[in-house]
Amino acid sequence: MSVVLSVRDVVKTFGAVRAVDGVSFTVQRGTITGLLGRNGAGKTTTIRMITGVFFPDAGSIEWLGSDRDARDRIGYLPEERGLYRQMKVKEHLLFLAEIKGKRGSSVTAAAERWLKRFELWDKRDSKVEELSKGNQQKVQLIGTLLHDPELIILDEPQSGLDPVNMLLVRNLLRELKDEGRTILLSTHMMAEAERMADEIILVHKGKVVLSGALDAVRDSFGKNTLHIDYEGDGGFLEQLPQVKRATIVPNGAEISLADGADPQQILEATIGKLRIRRFELAAPSLEEIFIEQVGAETMTMEASR
């Protein structure tokens, strides 16, 4: 595997706020890399520096392995979507390709192929403003891919999509990866990242708190997390002495065990209270890891004040 993009110690401040504070990571060719973090963690600012919208105050962003203009190698779907409302769909797509340096019959053919695939062929001559929001999103996504980019940067691509379109995007990303393209996926939805990403970069308050291959990251947290599915009210699980932390959802819980705790004791405690359907000791979910990392960091920061 080779590195496509290398981000080194980039800093961006807005007034007194350090939105991005010394972020470094690399993106490997042919992977889906998840850039994760809460809203306001610095994900979008980092992406805007990669796409050339902002100049970093310090640090460097390096592109490797091609002499094509860096801007033209990226397909960028911004978090805040925007299209010219008055333009016709196909015309708009060709414009988006043209500002990435691609024009001519091959692009027109590609646009037509994408429109058919996304069930927008009938709407090719409609104005963008006549389309539903979901369809506008699809148009923007096609616009991101039409110029055949090497690196596809998607900022919250699934926000505002219905489950069917979410599945469509998910399948599309896998397909793009299979074609050998590199994808940088920014999201705050951990479950989604867990399904898609090969590599993750966890950002919090402008700093990278965790990064690496998803499997390796999860393994490093050990197999001391209980995943339980049940029927009944599991609220009492939180109070048990063997539990360090519990995330309770309706009909299920993810429990971090206290050091040296025996999971068997927890199972015993549930007898007569819950009807167990699944009881598994495994690595923690990404969400759990995220909460642990960010929680710990937040606590140390508060203690240092």
Partner 1 sequence: MNKMFAVIKREYLQAVRKKMFIFMTLFFPVLMAALFVLPGLLMARGLGGKKVAVVDGTGALRSSFSRKISPEAPDPKKAISGGNRGELPQTIDVEYADTHLQTPSDGAKPYLDRLNVPKESGNRLDAVLTIPAKAFEGNDAKMTYYSRSSADVISQDRLASIANRAIQKQRLAARGIPAEAVDTLTREVPTEGVQLSKSGEKKTGNEFNFIIGMIFAGLLIIPSFIYGLETMRGIVQEKSERIVEVLISSMSPRELLTGKILGVAAVGLTQITAWLTIIAAGGAFAAASAKMAGFNVSQFLRPMVFVYFALFFLLGYLTFVCIYAIAGAACNTDKEAQQLVAPVQMIMMVPWFVMFPIITNPDSTMAVTLSMMPVYGPLTMFARTLVSEPPVWHVLLSIAVSIATIAVFFYVTAKIFRVGILSYGKRPTIPELWRWLKVA
**Which residues in this chain contact partner 1 in the complex, by CB under 8 A?**
48, 51-54, 71-72, 74, 76, 78, 80-87, 95-96, 98-101, 103, 143
Cβ 76 to partner 1, closest distance in Å?
5
Cβ 2 to partner 1, closest distance in Å?
24
Reference 297, options 5, 16, 21; nearest CA is: 21
Q: Cβ closer to partner 1: 100 or 204?
A: 100
Q: Cβ closer to partner 1: 100 or 181?
A: 100
Q: Cβ closer to partner 1: 84 or 277?
A: 84
- Helix or strand run (H / E) with residue 141: helix 133-145
Q: Cβ closer to partner 1: 48 or 204?
A: 48
* DSSP one-letter code for 278: E
Q: Cβ closer to partner 1: 143 or 284?
A: 143
Cβ 172 to partner 1, closest distance in Å?
19
Cβ 102 to partner 1, closest distance in Å?
10
Cβ 73 to partner 1, closest distance in Å?
11
Characterize 284-304 residue by residue with b for buried, 16 or more Cβ atoms within 10 angstroms of its Cβ, and e for exposed. bbbbbbbbbbbeeeeeeeeee
Q: Cβ closer to partner 1: 136 or 187?
A: 136
Report the distance separating Cα 242 and Cα 208, nearest Å.
Answer: 31
Q: Cβ closer to partner 1: 42 or 284?
A: 42
- Helix or strand run (H / E) with residue 5: strand 3-14
* Count of residues making up the chain: 305
Report the distance separating Cα 198 and Cα 181, nearest Å.
Answer: 13
Cβ 85 to partner 1, closest distance in Å?
7
**Lateral strand order in the sheet of 225-231:** 243-249, 252-257, 225-231, 275-282
List the structure tokens of 134. Answer: 């979901």
Reference 182, options 190, 172, 173, 191; nearest CA is: 173
List the structure tokens of 260. Answer: 């040296």
Cβ 93 to partner 1, closest distance in Å?
12
Residues 184, 16 contacting (CB under 8 angstroms): no
